[in-house]
Chain A
Amino acid sequence: MQTGLSFLKSFGVTMRRFFESYVDDAKWFFKGGFGMRYSAEALPTRQSPTEGRGIFVVQYPKERLPLPERYRGFPMLLYDEDPAQLRCVACGMCARVCPPQCIWIERATDPETGKALRAPASFHIDIGICMSCGFCAEFCPFDAIKMDNNYEIALFQGGDAFLFDKEKLSRPTSHHAEIHPTAYAEELASKKK
């Protein structure tokens, strides 16, 4: 039967969504007035698979979704704070597994004996090439490189501005502990063993 009624039913689906978004607005309004819908409190409910109704759009940058712990941004080099020292021993593992080969490591040498030291003299990552795959963090045997969760790294210049050196890449271990609490706890536990 081609009566045109099914066509109306399709419209019904759209209309229901249309009204649901207003109902959702109203619901949050009665809970906490204007702006409540866009509060940090409402965000998890609005985005939840079971309770989310209405529009899913997040008002970035005013609103931000919380990042999951495993979120892979770009790599950072960790340093322990007391005494301040990079954890990296320049073993080269990360540079070898990096698929686009955007890590350059120069191993430090002892100026007197000329022997290789367990530290990098320089450490560069071309963030413009990095594909955020996370292999460097995954395969570093010393937990010295981890994935930061900063995704707002756009710059007005291109090219060399994205070539990050040791200083630009360094983050304190406490930052890692803060953004990766579970992973950090696991690392501590496995170290104690």
Chain B
Amino acid sequence: MTIQATHETLKAKFPDAIQDAHAPYTGLIVDRDHLVAVATALRDELGFRYLSSVTGVDYPAATDGLPPRFEAVYHFYQSEGGPLVLHVHADRENPTVPSLTPLFPSADFQEREAWDLMGIRFEGHPDLRRILLWEGYAGHPLQKGFQEVYYEADTKPFDSRWPEGAPVRAESRVPLGRNLRYPADFSMQGWCPTDDPWGYIAHDQVADLKDTAHPTDRVVLNMGPHHPSTHGVLRLLVTLEGETIKKLEPVVGFLHRCHDKIGERNTWLGNMPYTDRLDYVCSMSNNLGYAVAVEKLLDVKVPERAEYIRVIMAEFTRFINHIIDIGFTGNDLGIYFTAMLMGMEERELIVDLFERVSGSRMMCNYMRFGGVAHDMTADDVAYARQLAFERLPQAIDKVDQFFTNNEVFKQRSINVGVLPAETAIAYGCTGPLLRASGVPYDIRRAEPYSIYDSFDFDVVTRQNGDVYDRYMVRLEEMRQSVRILQQALNRLPDGPIMDGKPKGLIKVPAGEAYGRIEAPKGELGFYLVSEGGNNPYRYHVRSPSFVNLGALEEMCKGYLIADTVIILASVDITLGEVDR
């Protein structure tokens, strides 16, 4: 069913509860009290079973005839095509919206994030606590009036920089020790973190939890918050019975810097290098995702050569991500560095290419709205061809020989961390994680962006949804990436790489857009609202790692503690992107 037809069906079904969003906004405005009914209808009757993104927007002033409000914004998808967008209004004094977590578990972490950062309460959420910030934090940073520690002005560029720019270090304006705000009645001494009640239950109380059917005591184990494996600073709270996992909760936010808030202060282009720092392994993909999203609001036509170069860079990035993740899986298994260095070696060669083309190995900052920053020279293309036609296929074979039939690897990974397809969809999993569970959902096919519709490649799926299958999906996806690379390099046309002259400061027409790409780890989405100015009004990143991590407990329950690490590796997260 097309999105338009779905709108009509919904309006016929809920005549009093739904109205069209005012242009330039898209989608529907749903009455708060009917949200759950509408979402149920979407899921059960209309085929929108995947709730991709949940976020909030703050409108402190009346706009378009709508009163001051908070808005919760939802993006639903069916198996193909674009999003169905729902806006739900909540008043500013006491913003509450019914929770969709009971219907769509994928909303769990995202609603907690919206509560944490935006201050919207989701009624009926089973566990509405802060997720990225700590429980004693004062305020909700994404509200428009909130001023962060080194606040200088609402938007960049700051006037103090030119023409009378005398350098003032932010640290001298806000000396260390004064840069944390606490709630008024807060005392450090008496404070006991309430954000993980069962993590800090004293040991004698844990005994109360004892399940009489089992002879062992339950133990609460803290993994992390320093690298529990090799993926970043993450803390896992695990309740064990013997060695079996009964409950697991990822505690995240150690790398939080409120990327969204920084993004709203920045100029439009100024966000580009910041996206590099999201998933720092895949900066080219992040650039692409952001460029795709902003280009939806802008009237630009990306030249063909630039599109090809974008695809080439994005697929090299996918290759890097997958080979490194496979390497880390080995690392987490105790193979130690052998497998990882096999991956790192190929990665070095590819980031050499990135460095030649963009000027930086990891923080590429390469895409621009309407094209790319620099052209690939003939030498760069020749180098890329060496990689795509000779080196990388061999590298995949090597990984294949090393892992695929290895009995030790198989024993540790087959039937471990099984995620059934239904659960995977409900939890909003995307990327190799979802496809390994047998769901052939790939945004490059489902909602093609850039020029992906002109390439031959297969959407790789496997049926069992265990750690081994996720490895197999990644391995095969590397082959498909090489296939795309070979086609792209063979057909790379000549021509310009930018639509018009690159501009550092742009204004973006008012409107909202949700641009998403199939990043190596899954769906990377950027939700943007523009009010026509120099800066985004709302800038939200829907990161694949963050949402996929929500399904970790489902995958780990019932398995052994030693399996957690390899299951985590198979989910493939980057904490830079989880914590944002």
Contact = CB atoms under 8 A, between A and B. Distances in A.
Interface of A: 2, 4, 6-7, 9-10, 12-14, 17, 47-50, 52, 56, 68, 70-72, 90, 92-93, 95-99, 101, 103-107, 116, 122, 124, 126, 131-135, 138-139, 147, 159-160, 163
A99 B363 CA distance: 14
A13 B165 contact: no
B17 to A, nearest CB: 42
Given A133-B365, A134-B365, A135-B504, A159 B391 contact: no
Nearest to A123: B165
B163 A106 contact: yes
Contact of A159 (B171, B269, B273, B387): B171
A9 B152 CA distance: 61
B267 interface: yes
Nearest to B398: A13
Contact of B407 (A6, A13, A131): A6
Interface residues of B, number: 57
Given A6-B406, A10-B406, A105-B163, A97 B270 contact: yes
Interface string B123-137: 000000000000000
B269 A97 contact: yes
A96 B161 contact: yes
Given A71-B355, A163-B167, A96 B407 contact: no
B198 interface: no
A70 to B, nearest CB: 4
A9 B406 CA distance: 8
B266 interface: yes
Most buried by A among B152, B166, B387: B166
B338 A14 contact: yes
Interface in B265-290: 266-267, 269-274
A107 B390 CA distance: 54
B406 A131 contact: no
Interface of B: 152, 156-158, 160-167, 169, 171, 266-267, 269-274, 338, 342, 345, 348-349, 352, 355-360, 363, 365, 373-374, 383, 386-387, 390-391, 398, 401-403, 405-410, 502-505
Contacts of A132: 360, 363
Contact of B390 (A50, A124, A147): A50
Most buried by B among A68, A103, A122, A138: A68
Contacts of A50: 386, 390-391
B504 A97 contact: yes
A9 B166 CA distance: 65
19 contacts: A4-B407, A9-B406, A10-B403, A12-B401, A14-B338, A90-B162, A92-B161, A99-B270, A103-B165, A104-B161, A104-B166, A104-B167, A105-B163, A122-B165, A124-B167, A132-B363, A133-B363, A134-B365, A159-B169
Contact of A107 (B157, B164, B349, B402): B164
Contacts of A107: 162-164
A4 B406 CA distance: 8
A87 to B, nearest CB: 17
Among all A-B residue pairs, the 6 with the closest Cβ atoms: A104-B165, A6-B405, A97-B504, A92-B162, A99-B270, A139-B504
Contacts of A14: 338, 402
A71 B274 CA distance: 18
Nearest to B411: A2
A93 B457 CA distance: 44
A96 B355 contact: no
B386 A101 contact: no
B358 A106 contact: no
Given A6-B407, A49-B391, A133-B273, A96 B157 contact: yes
A151 B312 CA distance: 28
A186 to B, nearest CB: 11
A9 B405 contact: yes
Given A13-B401, A95-B161, A97-B269, A138 B169 contact: no
Given A10-B409, A124-B165, 13 more contacts: A6-B405, A10-B403, A12-B401, A13-B401, A49-B391, A50-B390, A56-B345, A70-B355, A97-B504, A99-B156, A122-B165, A131-B273, A132-B360
Contacts of B360: 71-72, 132
A51 to B, nearest CB: 10
Nearest to A149: B359
A106 B169 contact: no
A92 B163 contact: yes
Given A131-B273, A135-B504, A70 B359 contact: yes
A135 B157 contact: no
Contacts of A72: 359-360
A7 B407 contact: yes
A103 B355 contact: no
Given A70-B374, A104-B167, A56 B348 contact: yes
B443 to A, nearest CB: 27
A136 to B, nearest CB: 9
Contacts of A101: 152, 156-158, 161
Contact of B505 (A10, A97, A105, A122): A97
A124 to B, nearest CB: 4
Contacts of A52: 349
Contact of A126 (B169, B266, B274, B505): B169
Contact of B164 (A7, A13, A106): A106
Contacts of B165: 95, 103-106, 122, 124
Contacts of A103: 161-162, 165
A99 B274 contact: yes
A93 B352 CA distance: 31
Nearest to B361: A71
A176 B409 CA distance: 52
A97 B267 contact: yes
Nearest to A49: B391
A30 to B, nearest CB: 24
Given A4-B407, A139-B502, A159-B169, A49 B163 contact: no
Nearest to A124: B167
B345 to A, nearest CB: 5
A96 B506 CA distance: 12
Given A56-B345, A104-B165, A93 B338 contact: no
Contacts of B156: 99, 101
Contacts of B158: 101
B350 to A, nearest CB: 9
A138 B502 contact: yes
